[in-house]
Structure 1
């Protein structure tokens, strides 16, 4: 059962609960769940039964919609609220968050249509909102997933001798690793952040040996964000620095699995760190 739908367009948001005494609410949500079509076509065997096996599925984008209305509002109030809703997605992608009995999931979407369905001339504010997600999977909400962080590997404090039993070993040091867990039912691509400063950086997936390197100085205070879904690196949220990526051995985190990432740098200055997170994914 869906409890609430939220649309986010930049700094603006609209909330559509299932039940309300005043304001927007939603009637129905169609197409949010399930699997989209497979774009891989099967080739029939010319001299045998059936077709050649398709070893990989490529899914189409997802189109879905929800119907909404405005409860207990004056005609002027409904008109103003409808104008506000109609402006969502006018300039590009927006975010939709759906809350159900199992939690909250999100998709980045384009608005196909926001259309008037009110046959009583704006007394109920009935509207249909049609959306398309280029990536058909739904993900855990980004604000619900904390970043994991580590410094490069370093030794602990060690022990001095002679010592008195029972021995208590001092702490300190770092393994230089983070572990990211995808609790969803579909594979998901992590996002990794390199916080300056370092001469070069190397991220190695412990379980598989896959590597992503960054072969350029990262000044102290700068952040390079590596998106393993789009194969890009952006520094300080502004400039594309993907040309300095090396190895480029991209991997996703399988469903209901974890991956650990080893962080190594050259010429460290200050406190360089690796941050990472993965949004769990569902069909």
Structure 2
């Protein structure tokens, strides 16, 4: 097993450097927020309703084996340096079943007292993932705008010429995980009045009404409903239809990409998503 937290990697197979001793809670199902109310005059309890989950807390126990005490102390300082006061950091776990990751906050790093040796064990790192789901490897799909095919011309001649193939303007993602997963979209210009993205399976639609130059792009993230122009400027106010959606476990989402107004350049939709797991 291997874990990477904020750029620091520890392996259960390592004999020097950072050594992974134990990972607690990574595969656990987090607690439900729904209250349990017992039936006062009947067996059992009332239906708690939707089981919304709390954030995921887990603990990584590490050891470090260095060349000398100075190397050990410097490594401990580097470990404490992964804590961020204003941002989450990436935590990735690799097992025989594959790789999963979460964005986490470092809550506490418990370091035993220094013994002036080159080895230390029992270093406990407490982490919190606000999102209770773990995510597998991301996959990507892209498409341009719909384009008509050439078709058959009459009078027919043989061998038949069916012309240039058309393009439906669709990108597809399948969630192979066990929990609903969000999608991210990147739409590049140019279009005079914006664009729309529609999930064919559900009809949910995102409609963005604003001129988009050839050199511009818009990032849309369904995990937090954010819309950014060129990755920097918030422009969610131009989203006139905001039926954000997630892809259910085992489900497929086909995204239809359409322009609004005049098209210039080669507009492109790039879609990305990852399977999610409880």
1:179 aligns with: 172
Q: 1:99 to 1:181 in 2, by over 3 A?
A: same
Give deviations 1:48-70, integer Å, cap 9, x for gaps. 44333233111011111111111
Give deviations 1:16-71, integer Å, cap 9, x for gaps. 11112321111110010021000011344455443332331110111111111112
If the length of structure 1 is used for normalisation, what is the TM-score? 0.90
Report the RMSD for the aligned CA atoms in angstroms. Answer: 1.8
1:243 aligns with: 237
Q: Kindly indicate whether residue 188 of structure 2 is the aligned counterpart of residue 195 of structure 1.
A: yes
- Contact 1:195-1:221 within 8 A present in 2 as well: yes
- Contact 2:34-2:49 within 8 A present in 1 as well: no
Q: Kindly indicate whether residue 124 of structure 2 is the aligned counterpart of residue 128 of structure 1.
A: yes
Q: What does 1:108-257 correspond to in 2, within 5 Å?
A: 108-117=103-112, 120-126=115-121, 127-141=123-137, 145-161=138-154, 162-165=156-159, 167=160, 169-198=162-191, 199-257=193-251
- How many Å apart are 1:215 and its aligned residue? 1.2
- How many Å apart are 1:264 and its aligned residue? 0.6
Q: 1:122 to 1:197 in 2, by over 3 A?
A: farther
2:68 to 61, 64, 74: 74
Q: Which runs of 5 or more structure 2 residues have no equivalent in the other structure? A: none
Give deviations 1:159-205, integer Å, cap 9, x for gaps. 4454323x463443210111111111111111112111112211111
- Contact 1:157-1:170 within 8 A present in 2 as well: yes
1:271 aligns with: 266
Q: 1:122 to 1:63 in 2, by over 3 A?
A: farther
1:51 aligns with: 45
Looking at structure 1, the residues matched to 163 and 113 of structure 2 have their Cα atoms a distance apart, in angstroms, of 70
Looking at structure 2, the residues matched to 122 and 231 of structure 1 have their Cα atoms a distance apart, in angstroms, of 50
Looking at structure 2, the residues matched to 244 and 282 of structure 1 have their Cα atoms a distance apart, in angstroms, of 33
Looking at structure 1, the residues matched to 49 and 167 of structure 2 have their Cα atoms a distance apart, in angstroms, of 41
If the length of structure 2 is used for normalisation, what is the TM-score? 0.92
- How many Å apart are 1:118 and its aligned residue? 5.1
- How many Å apart are 1:82 and its aligned residue? 1.1
- Contact 1:63-1:131 within 8 A present in 2 as well: yes
